Amino acid sequence: MFVHPDPQAPAVQKATSLAVDPNHPVARRIATQAQNDLLVLERGLNEQTGKPYNVIRVDDVRRTVAFFGSTAGEGGWRIAIVDAVDDLQREGANALLKVLEEPPKHSLLLLISHAPGRVLPTIRSRCRTLILRPLADADVARAATAAMGETADADAIRGAAAAAGGSVGRALMLLEGDALELRQQVVGLLDRLPALDPRALHALGDEIAGTQAETLAAFVDAVNAWLSARLNSGPQDGPRLARVAEVWTQVNRAMREAEAYNLDRKPLVFSVFEQLAGAARG
């Protein structure tokens, strides 16, 4: 999670517990999104399809400008939560960046990210990073079930929870369309590195060639998980870590550009796996 606090805000007393009385008036207003000093940006519901949008729309992000431009009603603080910043389109990310560049007084922005490598460097550089402990698979499954309803496929939810790395948002993403199956396909190819299978890479490129955002997101997520594992395993010497970090930067830049400009996915797949193979040999 990325935090962008007001640097001129006065110090506040540290809380001794995260426990909140659910019957407290403020807690009830937050639960019903009726707290005027809190803005939550998330993927809205597409009324035509009855399903959430694949992205947080730029028009929703622009609400932050009017939100922070008004006077706080209680306590002098205004808080915005972006859940998740990974779901922003490039236009939305740029609109959010304008708020981060000139933050109003007594403001706090919480940017939740399940794949920090995909977040624009200009946004990351203006925030503090808080690493949160991943949830247990059972907790992820319960949260995903609550979000999707009791009629959701229990086996699919358990599979998504096991692959989500403790992230409810990632689990929900994997449950959309064929994202979970595609992720498993990518993981299979990653397990074979540094060996490359051109035929399998062609097939993978065809799988993510469409415009469905969740398929590319599943590909990006699996690649970043593999790179993260490479950073945390093996010899922790500087040159090796620098090589993996450079591959991380190049791969994520290429994937962001492919998503932003709707580039052909098949060359992206081959380029990414060639770079990953090099990292695996190192």
Q: How far is it, in rounded angstroms, from Cα 129 to Cα 237?
A: 24
Q: Are 217 and 259 in contact (CB under 8 A)?
A: no
Enter the tokens of residue 90.
């490039």
Enter the tokens of residue 148.
């999707």
Q: Are 15 and 142 in contact (CB under 8 A)?
A: no
Residues 186-201: tens digit of each pLDDT: 999 999 999 999 999 9
Residues 18-34: tens digit of each pLDDT: 788 888 888 888 888 77
pLDDT given for residue 138 in this prediction: 95
Given 3.40.50.280, 3.30.2130.10, 3.40.50.300, 3.30.70.20, which CATH number is that of 2-129?
Answer: 3.40.50.300
Amino acid in the structure at residue 155: D
Residues 118-168: tens digit of each pLDDT: 788 889 889 998 888 889 999 999 999 988 877 778 999 999 999 888 888
Residues 253-274: tens digit of each pLDDT: 888 788 777 788 889 999 999 9
At 176, the pLDDT band (50, 70, 90 cuts) reads: confident
Is cis: bond before 5, omega within 30 of 0?
A: no
Q: How far is it, in rounded angstroms, from Cα 260 to Cα 280?
A: 28
Q: How far is it, in rounded angstroms, from Cα 116 to Cα 124?
A: 8
Per-domain residue ranges of the chain: 2-129, 133-175, 179-281
Coarse DSSP helix, strand, coil percentages of the chain, rounded to the nearest 5 percent = 55, 10, 35
Secondary structure element (H or E) that encloses residue 129, with its range: strand 128-129
Backbone angles phi, psi at 176, to 5 degrees: -85, 125
pTM above 0.75, yes or no: no
Residues 63-92: tens digit of each pLDDT: 887 888 777 666 678 889 998 888 888 888
Enter the tokens of residue 268.
């992206």
Enter the tokens of residue 180.
């979970």
Closest C-alpha among 113, 94, 107, 29 to residue 67: 107
Q: How far is it, in rounded angstroms, from Cα 224 to Cα 226?
A: 5
